[in-house]
Structures are given as structure tokens and as C-alpha cells.
């Protein structure tokens, strides 16, 4: 697991806005400090120097008191999808 960043804000739609220290891929899983799965990365936006990440949270009860906490991410494997597509020998 890699450090994603700290939570800046929560939205009314149940998403968390994180000031990113590292740049994850869309769809990567997001965890808190206790390795509890929070949700997944939905969108990356903002300036290139300091991007923000929108995380959709799987359970809204996790949003209570989350502001300022540190989040981590882990990449999702593709399970070979696209491995041999459109290959011409």
C-alpha cells in the first residue's frame, strides 16, 4: 500500500476529496490507517503540481470524523485483460 494523501473535504454525494501526494489510477482501492477499505478512486482533478482525488466511499458511516485523516491506496490488477488483444503476428 502506498500513501495517497490527507482528506480535505467530504461532499454531499458521499465522496471524499483528498489532496494527493501520489498519483493513483482510477479504480484503485483506498484504505484508511487501520487498513479498512474505504472505497475506490473515481476521479483525479486539479493542477498537475498538486492534484486532488475524488474517492467514492462504500459506506457513508465511514465519513464521520474522516476530515484530516490519512488515506492509502493499492492498485487493482487487470487479471490479464487486454493482454493479447489486437495482436497481429
Q: Which residues pair with 72 in a beta bridge?
A: 3, 31
Is residue 14 a part of any domain in this protein? yes
Predicted local distance difference test score (pLDDT) of residue 73:
95
Contact between 26 and 41 (Cβ < 8 Å): yes
Q: Over the stretch 12-69, which tens digit does the pLDDT of each residue have?
A: 898 999 999 999 999 999 999 999 999 999 999 999 999 999 999 988 888 888 899 9
The CATH number of the domain where 49 resides is what?
A: 2.40.10.230
Q: Is 21 domain-assigned?
A: yes
By DSSP bridging, strand 15-20 and strand 29-31 are unpaired
Write down how long the chain is. Answer: 89
pTM for this predicted structure: 0.80
pLDDT the model gives residue 81: 59
pLDDT of residue 88: 63
Q: What would the pLDDT profile of 67-88 be if each residue is shown by its tens digit? A: 999 999 998 766 665 556 666 6
Name the one residue in this structure whose C-alpha cell is 484508511. 32
Number of separate domains in the chain: 1
Amino acid at each position: 500500500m502506498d500513501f495517497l494523501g490527507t482528506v480535505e473535504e467530504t461532499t454531499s454525494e458521499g465522496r471524499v476529496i483528498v489532496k494527493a501526494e501520489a498519483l493513483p489510477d482510477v479504480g484503485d482501492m483506498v484504505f484508511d490507517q487501520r487498513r479498512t477499505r474505504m472505497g475506490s478512486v473515481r476521479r483525479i482533478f486539479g493542477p498537475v503540481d498538486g492534484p486532488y482525488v475524488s474517492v467514492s466511499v462504500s459506506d457513508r458511516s465511514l465519513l464521520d470524523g474522516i476530515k484530516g485523516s490519512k488515506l492509502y491506496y493499492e492498485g487493482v490488477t487487470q487479471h490479464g485483460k487486454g493482454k493479447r488483444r489486437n495482436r497481429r503476428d
